[in-house]
Amino acid sequence: MELLGARKAYHSLFERSIEEDVVEHTNGFQRKLLLALVSSYRYEGPRGVNEETAKSEAKKLCIAIKSGKPIEDEEVVTILAIRSKPHLKAIFRHYKEICGKNIEEDLDVDLSLNTTMQCLCTPQIYFSKVLDAAMKNGVDEHPKEALTRVIVTRADVDMKEIKEEYHKQYGVALSKKIEDIANGNFKDFLLTLVARGN
């Protein structure tokens, strides 16, 4: 439902689809992965995880990642695009059992795939990193815009988890960091949204 809402909002704001802009601004296998992610309808209902399927897909991921070109594998893209978050978590658990490493360790060199996995399964870690990068001294406008974007879009979704992860990763409360780097009404606005995630 989140993706459907985002797609509608995007179309309303920019009078074109996310898919159109993905095609225009990306290429190659990254385009293929992003198009699959923004176009699919991921099942997020209460149905349980099929462990046998998860194990089979973990083996496929392991083979594709060991080949050195996982993003080029059609099955990898399909798995990431359509499987529910609980199912993906089961796949990654089986992956560790099969391959002996966490999938993130094996994907260290493939930044786009690693980021995709993180966004799907542990968004609080991904958003904590984005927030930290946005609040560093001397960053340009793009990372600063990410600060507002993350806080506004996640305030009513998973801000509590993001705050906990941020504190765990960086040893300071997110609200304290915002107080240190922001000013005036902007600071008050961000702090109000962050506080809603309690």
Give the per-residue pLDDT at 41: 80
Residues 6 or more apart from 164 whose CB is under 8 A from it? 124
In this structure, the answer to whether residues 113 and 186 fall within a common structural domain is: no
In this structure, the answer to whether residues 145 and 87 fall within a common structural domain is: no
pLDDT value at 141 more than 80:
no
Q: pLDDT band at residue 57, thresholds of 50, 70 and 90?
A: very high
Which position has the token pair 């995007």?
10
Give the per-residue pLDDT at 121: 84
| Dihedral sign computed on CA atoms, order 123, 128, 129, 130 | positive
In this structure, the answer to whether residues 129 and 117 fall within a common structural domain is: no
In this structure, the answer to whether residues 100 and 141 fall within a common structural domain is: no
pLDDT value at 1 more than 70:
no
Domain span at 92: 2-121
In this structure, the answer to whether residues 105 and 150 fall within a common structural domain is: no
Give the per-residue pLDDT at 195: 93
In this structure, the answer to whether residues 29 and 63 fall within a common structural domain is: yes
Give the per-residue pLDDT at 110: 67
Distance CA 116, CA 112 (A): 6
Number of Cβ within 10 Å of residue 195's Cβ equals 12
pLDDT value at 111 more than 80:
no
In this structure, the answer to whether residues 144 and 163 fall within a common structural domain is: yes
In this structure, the answer to whether residues 105 and 133 fall within a common structural domain is: no
In this structure, the answer to whether residues 187 and 132 fall within a common structural domain is: yes
In this structure, the answer to whether residues 163 and 101 fall within a common structural domain is: no
Q: What is the pLDDT of residues 163-192, one digit of tens each?
A: 999 999 999 999 999 999 999 999 999 999
Q: Is pTM beyond 0.85 here?
A: no
Structure tokens at 126: 């991904």
Distance CA 69, CA 63 (A): 10
pLDDT value at 109 more than 90:
no
In this structure, the answer to whether residues 189 and 152 fall within a common structural domain is: yes
Q: What is the pLDDT of residues 15-54, one digit of tens each?
A: 999 999 999 999 988 899 899 999 888 877 778 899 999 9
CATH number at residue 182: 1.10.220.10
Query: Domain count of the chain?
Result: 2
- Find the DSSP H helices in the chain: 2-14, 18-25, 28-39, 51-66, 74-82, 85-99, 103-106, 111-121, 123-134, 141-154, 159-170, 174-181, 184-195
